[in-house]
Amino acid sequence: MRPASREAVKVVVVGGGWGGCAAALSAVKQGGDVTLIERADMLLGTGLVGGIFRNNGRFTAAEEALAMGGGEMFEVMDANALHRDIEFPGHKHASLYNVDTIEPDTVRVLERHGVQIRLTTRITDVVKDGDRVMAVVTAKDASQERFEGDVFVDATGTAALPNACNKYGNGCAMCVMRCHAFGARVSVAARAGAIEMIGKKGNRIGAMSGSCDLVKESLAPDLVAELDRRGVVVRKVPNADSAGSDKLAIKACQQYALPEYQANVVVLDTGTAKLMTPFYELRELRKVPGFEKARFEDPYAGGVGNSIRYIGMAPRNDALQVSGIPNLFCCGEKAGLLVGHTEAVVTGMLAGYNAVRRARGEEVVVLPDTLAIGDAITFVREQMNGEQGLGMKFTFSGSVLFDRMEQRGSYTTDVAEIRRRVEAAGLTNLFAARKRSVPRSIGPVAA
């Protein structure tokens, strides 16, 4: 591959969720000419109904990113936080951002740095020359467009098509993905020839998205007042045993698959009332005091299901380069069984940075396992090589990965200590908007 000049590096990021936004910002800070393409009419994807960050090990990961000079997306979250340092079952020192206000602020940050954003633009195919991607294109009709680039980042996620939600879930739940309005997700990596992996646990394919939003005004006034004041409400479920635990086992967010979420209704305030379960039969929910008039906001069919995810993850190395396609990188759920906004942001940060380096013919970066982010990227890749690993989910905030952080001693809320670790690795301000040499602590790229 002939290296591009510093002035001519064209980076195309497909997918405008948290991972794609972070990748686009990281690439433009390194001097890339960046176009961010999103099929819907807003950025952030599932981040529009998420809102949880800095809980458990996500605090550590966010502060590592900030110390490395790549924390702008976390600064946007912090600026839109409704609640800070709250606790709910299994989670400490969480922050909750306002899902109704954060997207315009994210757009402003990206545009201020020079990212060119293309909304309502659905990529449907790729153009290749040998093993390299040359361009991505829109639907083949009179309005077809071609976006050429030196390097590409696949941030398209792993959400299923509507027919897959029918097949593997409980039908199209009419969720924030809005496939029927803007078209279904198309994987750049798959169209480029990568053999993608599918999350599978036993006979179950993929996993169901992890929570529902309730219309806050449909809840009892005293419950809303408590939610606004504390950020969290926990209400005991009458006859909880009769509700069953199946919905806990099929969650994408296994950090919430705890007994407390079966015995109680747990709701967080993210501007809407975020119900911490992938679905809840409306008739049963309305038996819980304070929820007698409850109504689902997203997904609309939250009484029977939610979207199915982890259908199609790209094989990649620890630099987040897609295997067999040298100028294609990936991030977020596309990079593996990673759950959450924080996980998407930190992988996007690295993918966008390495995309520019690769286009210039420079050595790509692998973050060391002395940092929680570096260890997670390597650990998830290794785990996904086996059938058991494909049945797991990985997040800094709970389950397997957070347990690993605690065992390794990498989980901490001591910001000064996190900065010392980053400095010891020679990575302070690595992702800042200036050229840096590759630190000597950065290791070789695993296949």
Please report, for the domain that includes residue 109, its CATH number: 3.50.50.60
Q: Tell me the per-residue pLDDT of 246-258, one tens digit each, with 9 for 90 and over.
A: 655 655 555 666 7
Q: What is the mean pLDDT of residues 155-164?
A: 91
- What is the model's pLDDT at position 388? 81
Residues 200 and 319 in one domain: yes
- Has residue 356 got a pLDDT over 80? yes
- What is the model's pLDDT at position 242? 45
Residues 262 and 393 in one domain: no
* Cβ atoms within 10 Å, residue 335: 30
Residues 185 and 320 in one domain: yes
- Has residue 436 got a pLDDT over 50? no
Distances (CA, A) of 409 to 87, 186, 271: 21, 39, 34
Residues 6+ apart with CB under 8 A from 264: 89, 234, 235, 236, 237, 240
Q: Name the residue with higher pLDDT: 445 or 227.
A: 227
SS3 state of residue 79: helix
Domain end marker among 273, 290, 306: 306
* Cβ atoms within 10 Å, residue 83: 20
Least confident of 114-118, 240-244, 327-331: 240-244
* Virtual torsion, Cα 46, 43, 104, 215, nearest 10 deg: -30
Q: Is residue 248 part of a domain?
A: yes
Total domains in the fold of the chain = 2
Q: Model confidence at 24, in pLDDT bands (50, 70, 90)?
A: very high
- Has residue 427 got a pLDDT over 80? yes
Residues 86 and 54 in one domain: yes
Domain end marker among 241, 276, 306: 306
Distances (CA, A) of 197 to 89, 313, 334, 381, 404: 32, 5, 10, 11, 23
Q: Number of C-alpha atoms within 13 angstroms, CB side, residue 269?
A: 20
Q: Model confidence at 446, in pLDDT bands (50, 70, 90)?
A: very low
Q: Is residue 182 part of a domain?
A: yes
Residues 392 and 408 in one domain: yes
Measure CA of the first residue to CA of the last residue in the chain; give whole Å.
19
Q: Is residue 186 part of a domain?
A: yes
Residues 196 and 221 in one domain: no
- Has residue 183 got a pLDDT over 50? yes
- What is the model's pLDDT at position 72? 98
Computed on alpha carbons and rounded to an integer, the radius of gyration of the chain in Å comes to 21
Q: Is residue 185 part of a domain?
A: yes
Q: Is residue 342 part of a domain?
A: yes
Q: What is the mean pLDDT of residues 312-317?
A: 96
Residues 44 and 186 in one domain: yes
Distances (CA, A) of 241 to 234, 245, 276: 17, 8, 17
Residues 320 and 398 in one domain: yes
- What is the model's pLDDT at position 251? 55
Q: What is the mean pLDDT of residues 335-347?
A: 96
Residues 198 and 216 in one domain: no
- Has residue 269 got a pLDDT over 90? yes
Domain that holds residue 298: 210-306
Q: Name the residue with higher pLDDT: 391 or 384.
A: 384
Tokens of 19: 């991972």
- Counting beta carbons within 10 angstroms of the beta carbon of residue 244, is it exposed (0 to 12), middle (13 to 18) or buried (19 or more)? exposed
Answer yes or no: are the C-beta atoms of 49 and 356 closer than 8 Å: no
Answer yes or no: are the C-beta atoms of 347 and 332 closer than 8 Å: yes
Domain end marker among 274, 306, 338: 306
Q: Is residue 5 part of a domain?
A: no
Residues 345 and 370 in one domain: yes
Phi/psi of residue 142, each to 5°? -65, -25
- What is the model's pLDDT at position 115? 98
Residues 125 and 266 in one domain: no
Q: Is the dihedral of CA 332, 374, 11, 435 positive or negative?
A: positive
Phi/psi of residue 423, each to 5°? -65, -40
Q: Is residue 415 part of a domain?
A: yes
Residues 6+ apart with CB under 8 A from 222: 290
Q: What is the mean pLDDT of residues 348-366?
A: 97
Q: Tell me the per-residue pLDDT of 48-105, one tens digit each, with 9 for 90 and over.
A: 999 999 999 999 999 999 999 999 999 999 999 999 999 999 999 999 999 999 999 9
- CA pair distance 87, 59, nearest whole angstrom: 13
Angle at which helices 399-408 and 57-67 cross, to 10°:
70
Residues 149 and 246 in one domain: no
Q: Is residue 1 part of a domain?
A: no
Tokens of 130: 């040998």
